[in-house]
Amino acid sequence: MGRREKSVAVFDDEIEVTNKDQLDFDDINDVILFKFLLQFRYAKPTEVIMFAFGILCSAGLGSLFPLSMALFADMVDKLIRNFFKAADLIEEQIPLFVYLAISSLVLGFVQMYFLTLSSKRQARRIRLLFFNSLIRQDAGWMDSKASGSLISLLSSSVPEIQGGIGNRVGSFVRDTVLFVGCIIMAYVKGWKLALVASASLPLIGVSFAFLAFTLKYFNTKEIQAYSQAGGIAGEVLASIRTVFAYGGQKKTYERYANELYKAERTGIRKGMAIGAGNGFVSLSIFSAAALSLWYGITLVRTERFSNGTVILVVVSIIISSIAIGKALPEIEALARAVTAAKKVYAIINRVPPIDIEKIGEVIPKFQGKIEFKNVNFSYPSRPDVPILKNFNLTVEPGKKVAIVGFSGSGKSTAIHLIQRLYDPQNGEIYIDGKNIRDLDVGWLRMQLGTVSQEATLFTGTIFENIRMGDLEATMDDVIEAAQLAEASEFIKRLPDGFDTWLNEGGAKLSGGQRQRIAIARALIRRPKVLLLDEATSALDTRTEKSVQRALDQAGAGRTVLMVAHRLTTVREA
């Protein structure tokens, strides 16, 4: 008994970090900072350094405005005291503002570049890890998940994670530093005026936060409405022949128009909300400015406040309120990113009970004997519905055995168990006398050729579809497999032959042609065991005879397990 060298299912050296032991979100209790940092579990050291440098640049960018306001206030005071030397004073101050402008340009560019580069690389790696984990999972787990929800998780959650480890963090740090810097500057220069002006902080901050949350809410509703409309359009186009057959054009048009109307109403409401929000923001800012300037002028008259100090304090308080209003929605976005990361990383870290990555035993001289011994099985998605009860079956090497029965009797289940898509709850399955649980899953499946009722073809050429059964196969191997499956003749008659492009599941081909390509794909790996799961049940009589002849030829010298609900299909078994 041997063991094969495991070929890792992850095809990119950038994602080898999956093998590292990592803390889980559930291990960190409720410490938000730690949960935030766990988003970087798949980051490389260089990406962490880029992130840290980008955050430092964000902080530096946020500190520039308070500095510029201090310089501006000082310049105003000097101009008022020395009006006749204004030109000289301005000329002295110009280089300082130029330096600040250049610093702002450099810091802004570096911040955006490093945070974007770091987050994009991590997002790409997370997508690869997520997809790699999906294609590793067992069939039982996949049965319990809607494919649409998994696709949605990949398409919507990863961008949220990317924002939570990239530009959104930079924006939050920049606005927070700007807020703190402006508040400190205002209170240091004139605490009395700053104290009065600070009364406007909650009003302006809330108005900005309200505007941001309103915009997000209506954007989400609008996207959902357009997605619903797009889903209807996709469903109709995919089933357009059925729509034609039942005259459903008017009904589908009304459904589509109804969803568009919902999107239109949402868009109008969004426009009204944005208009009201912008008006409220402007009202709060100008009201705060008016109050602060009125009190500032009073202080200039009574307590010898400088004009520059009044300008600095008023503008700093207003800018700080705007900054905190912009920072608050970022907190919610960062929290969403942590939640999204928890969901995505849970799937990435999930080790399936039937793991293709796990190294198991291989049989050097594989014969193809199959034994079921007292097997009991029910699908994980329906544990209370028994499918097989004390099932026993022996298939000798090189023999053809048929399982015939009514729909739902467990015929296809037997094939699924041989492929080890599932494990039985009780009983054992043996391959050449070895327990199937001890065998290497990847090696086992390479020994099996499977043809199911629905011939699944992928977007690509006929050559690529057949070669999918053995990625190391040559053109000669593909032609030989096509000949065994009696598919070479019709393929050669196609304008592009084996280079004919297939899409939408091979819609250009007939059912029999698709089935023969599927047979060729199963045969190209030269399997010792051929599993036929009602391979001809969906075909007409004439096509069935042609495909059955190909199957009979393909089964020569192999162990064949056939599943059918018609005795004519298994007359030679």
pLDDT at 573 over 60: no
Task: Name 451's bridge partners.
Answer: 532
Domain limits, the chain = 1-188+330-355, 361-570
Alpha helices (runs of H) in 436-536, residue ranges in sequence order: 441-446, 462-467, 475-484, 488-493, 511-523
Alpha helices (runs of H) in 304-405, residue ranges in sequence order: 307-348
5 DSSP assignment = P
Higher-pLDDT residue of 20 and 109 is 109
Q: pLDDT band at 112, cuts 50/70/90? A: very high
Residues 6+ apart with CB under 8 A from 373: 392, 427, 428, 429, 430
- Mean pLDDT over 398-416 rounds to 84
Q: Is the dihedral of CA 261, 264, 270, 276 positive or negative?
A: negative
pLDDT of residue 83: 65
Task: Answer yes or no: are the C-beta atoms of 321 and 201 closer than 8 Å.
Answer: yes
Tokens of 381: 């998605």
- Mean pLDDT over 322-330 rounds to 82
Output the average pLDDT for the chain.
82
**Secondary-structure percent of the chain, ordered helix, strand, coil, rounded to 5:** 65, 10, 25
**Domain spanning 1-188+330-355: CATH superfamily:** ABC transporter type 1, transmembrane domain (1.20.1560.10)
Grouping H, G, I as helix, E, B as strand and the rest as coil, residue 249 is helix
Lowest mean pLDDT among 102-116, 137-151, 186-200: 137-151
User: Tell me: the pLDDT tens digits for 167-195?
Assistant: 999 999 999 999 999 999 888 888 888 88
Q: Say how many C-beta atoms besides its own lie within 10 A of residue 255's C-beta.
A: 17
Q: Which residue has the tokens 């059964």?
A: 469
User: Tell me: the pLDDT tens digits for 113-124?
Assistant: 999 999 999 999
pLDDT at 18 over 60: no
Q: Considering the chain, what percentage of its residues have pLDDT values greater than 90?
A: 20
Q: Considering the chain, what percentage of its residues have pLDDT values greater than 70?
A: 88
408 DSSP assignment = T
pLDDT at 544 over 80: no
Higher-pLDDT residue of 455 and 51 is 51
Q: Which amino acid, residue 224? A: Q
pLDDT of residue 514: 87
Q: Which amino acid, residue 213? A: F
Task: Name 2's bridge partners.
Answer: 362
Cα–Cα distances (Å) from 309 to 257, 391, 514, in that order, read: 59, 89, 81
Of the options 3.40.50.300, 3.80.10.10, 3.30.420.40, 3.30.1380.20, the CATH number for the domain spanning 361-570: 3.40.50.300
Task: Answer yes or no: are the C-beta atoms of 169 and 55 closer than 8 Å.
Answer: yes
Q: Give the span between the Cα atoms of 457 and 416, in whole angstroms.
A: 19
Task: Answer yes or no: are the C-beta atoms of 252 and 232 closer than 8 Å.
Answer: yes
Residues 6+ apart with CB under 8 A from 93: 71, 75
